[in-house]
Amino acid sequence: MENINIEDIKKIMCIISDIISENEKKLSELDGVIGDGDFGYTISKGFKAIKDKINKNDEDDTSKLMKSFGMIMMKNCGGASGPLWGTGFINVSDFTQGKEVFNLKDISGMIGSFIQGVKKIGKADLGDKTFLDALIPAYNSMKNDVEQGEVNIVRSINKASKEAEIGAEKTKEMVAKKGRATYLGDRSLGHVDAGAYAIALLFKEITDKLPSEN
């Protein structure tokens, strides 16, 4: 697979929505270990609304579809998820303006613009124990593939998926690195960030569900 279009994007977003719904409890539990346990429920509510929007089948422009996803997240999700994912999608909307067919370079660009949006509003970066710790390594892997001349989307996502998993795993050690252990105590050590876990899970499941590269 070298190109995708809006119909593929809709399918992928529905897969994401289902994965999030299926793992709602697990994500909340991970969040609850060191936080308030609202993450799974909040994000799931947003992605259910995104799936509803796709099922209405009333949008055939990718940029407008992405903008509607952003607005849906900002309307339906509170917590940190709404503003972060909302701004992310709106940035992707700007990036995809006028585009109809997306190759690997475009897809990596979409993820890159999503990350820019999240960084802007969340003021977070790599190493802050957020979902960026899984997403940025995945993005870098895809960007690197593009630079190396890779065109196969499935193969590149598959590779990125492994980077996301490593990145999520690394969040376990980040408490100590940031010196947060001093007030959270040892109990917060060794726990993965719920958002980073979610990103790694999404990459993995999408890889499994996409048609194989051959």
Partner 1 sequence: MKKIINKPENLVDEMCSGFFAAHSDSICLDYENRIILRKNKNKEKVSLISGGGSGHEPSHSGFVGYGMLDAAVCGDVFASPSIMQIYNSIKQVENKNGVLLIVKNYSGDVMNFDGGAELAREEGIDVETVYVDDDVAVEGSLYTVGRRGVAGTIFVHKIAGALAEKGADLIAIKKIAEKTVKNVKTIGFALSSCTNPNSGNPIFNLEENQMEFGVGIHGEPGITREKAECSEEMASRLMAKINENIRLESGDEVAVLVNGLGGTPLQELYVFNNDVTKMLNKLNVKICKNFVGDYMTSLDMFGLSLSILKLDEELKDLLFSDAYTPALKMISTINY
- Which residue ranges make up the site for partner 1 (CB under 8 A)? 25, 28-29, 32, 34-38, 40-42, 45, 71, 74-84, 86, 121-123, 129, 175, 180, 183-185, 187-188
Distance in Å, CB of 54 to partner 1, minimum: 20
Q: Shortest approach of partner 1 to residue 82 CB, angstroms?
A: 5
Q: Which is nearer to partner 1, 32 or 127 (CB)?
A: 32
Which CA distances in Å does 56 have to 49, 100, 195?
A: 11, 20, 28
**Least gap, CB of 190 to partner 1 (angstroms):** 14
| Least Cβ distance, residue 85 to partner 1 (angstroms) | 11
- Choice between 40 and 109, CB closer to partner 1: 40
Nearer Cβ to partner 1, position 18 or 150?
18
Residue 19 · residue 43 · CB < 8 Å: no
- How far apart are the C-alpha atoms of 14 and 107, rounded to whole Å? 17
Identify the CA nearest to 139 among candidates 114, 170, 160: 160
CA atoms lying within 13 Å on the CB side of residue 49: 18
Nearer to partner 1, 155 or 180 (CB): 180
What is the Cα gyration radius of the chain? 17
Q: How many CA within 13 A on the CB side of residue 182?
A: 4
